[in-house]
Chains A and B, each alone.
Chain A
């Protein structure tokens, strides 16, 4: 078995007296692509935010390659560089060009050489088909293009694990595909990924493991083959039925 990249033990998160995460245990290994699905409000987005310490947790621990991640800790910026995260809303810096958006953190945080970083950024932009947009401002891009830039901006930090928080949920339908294709390619490169999504067909195609959450707990886990054809729990069954009804 390959190395454990991310380990969660008994993670509990409360907000306004409500329990959002109720004892999450989870291990993600090197090169694994895990997809979290579940109904709205089940805590899946909060889980990603806790892993990046954007939310403090009340109990349990989160380890990145054995090192604990805690909100407010001194070493947080250096740990966060190893975690790449892309959000649902387009969160590019509106006052900077695409190139500046991508190179800001490598230059200011990692203190890397400007020219080297710009060359790498240009290569990555070419890989996601946005070579001609380097000098554009975010407002000149479509939603799908912005999300691809956000992915590049995260990749250039050379993270150990990639977190995707419903990155296609705010996109127009015709732009979903271009973003998912980029993610599929990352999976084929053997990246370690943890994805929250509502795109069931995509989850089935990309995942090594499906994690089904409901009410702040992991209810069921399995390979896509198992989960989508023979879900073990009633709740997973009901959840999947809702999607089938649509089609």
Chain B
């Protein structure tokens, strides 16, 4: 491995990593919003919307992100929906991540015993107050491990973004290998940069998980 080459490539990887993190962050954020909405629809059993959400979740979970991106980037312009690569990346990640986040929130909501809502109601709260003050805080703490796993999963999934000509880490590595044959250095930096992005999230997740857990409900 040649340290000089590594030093030379470092800025390129740095830029690519920033793009990956930015788009990944936006994708995770929008996924969480979509997921929360879908989980609410399922939890409150909203008619009609519930079926639509179900179809969305199944479509999203049973297709690969790469294919979702191809459809958004190359297919949708033919029916008049045009996107830039960055918008396409975030939209694809949100389409994928929304269903995973929905599952995480939903399982958290369903882990809260029915009696919690009932006792809140019997103490005079409205249903909205019971959900906001009593159910959501408990549901969230149950969801945390799954949410953290989803964040890592979605950040990993950004590695297919180069398919829609985004200059991310994979794109940079492939380019350098193709142009200069510095395979070892290019791959080394690729691994290092993904570790730099993903390891802190994993560690943060473990810390967060420990802090929000209220060892066992009521027992």
Using a CB–CB distance below 8 Å, which chain A residues touch chain B?
52, 54, 77-78, 80-81, 83-85, 87, 89-95, 104-105, 108-110, 137-139, 146, 150, 153-154, 157
Contact = CB atoms under 8 A, between A and B. Distances in A.
Given A108-B133, A139-B214, A91 B118 contact: yes
A200 B33 CA distance: 54
B215 interface: yes
Contacts of B141: 95
Nearest to B138: A95
B152 interface: no
B124 A81 contact: yes
B124 A94 contact: no
Contacts of B118: 54, 87, 91
Contact of B125 (A54, A108, A137): A108
Given A77-B125, A95-B137, A139-B214, 15 more contacts: A77-B121, A77-B126, A81-B123, A84-B122, A87-B119, A95-B138, A104-B134, A108-B125, A108-B129, A108-B133, A110-B124, A138-B218, A139-B216, A139-B218, A146-B218
B121 A54 contact: yes
Contact of A78 (B116, B124, B134, B218): B124
Contact of B123 (A80, A89, A95, A146): A80
Contacts of A105: 120, 123-125
30 contacts: A52-B122, A54-B118, A77-B121, A77-B125, A78-B124, A80-B121, A80-B122, A85-B119, A87-B115, A87-B118, A90-B218, A90-B219, A92-B218, A93-B134, A94-B138, A94-B214, A94-B217, A95-B138, A104-B123, A104-B133, A105-B123, A108-B125, A108-B129, A109-B123, A110-B124, A138-B218, A146-B218, A154-B123, A157-B123, A157-B124
Contact of A54 (B122, B129, B133, B134): B122
Nearest to A95: B137
B129 A109 contact: yes
A153 B141 CA distance: 24
Contact of A94 (B120, B123, B126, B218): B218
Contacts of B125: 77, 105, 108-109
Contacts of B219: 90, 139
Interface in B181-219: 214-219
B168 to A, nearest CB: 39
Contact of A109 (B119, B124, B137, B214): B124
Contacts of A77: 121, 124-126
Contacts of A91: 113, 115-116, 118-119, 218
> Which of under 10, 10 to 19, 20 to 34, or 35 or more describes the interface residues of B?
20 to 34
B214 A95 contact: yes
Give the dominant DSSP class at B's interface: helix
Interface string B113-150: 10110111111111001000110011001000000000
A117 B10 CA distance: 61
A89 B219 CA distance: 10
Nearest to B123: A105
A13 B47 CA distance: 26
A28 to B, nearest CB: 17
A92 B119 CA distance: 8
Interface string B77-107: 0000000000000000000000000000000
B116 A139 contact: no
Contacts of B126: 77
Contacts of A110: 124
Interface in B27-48: none
B110 to A, nearest CB: 16
Interface string B150-177: 0000000000000000000000000000
Contacts of A84: 122
A46 to B, nearest CB: 13
B124 A89 contact: no
Given A139-B214, A139-B215, A93 B122 contact: no
Nearest to A81: B124
A77 B217 CA distance: 26
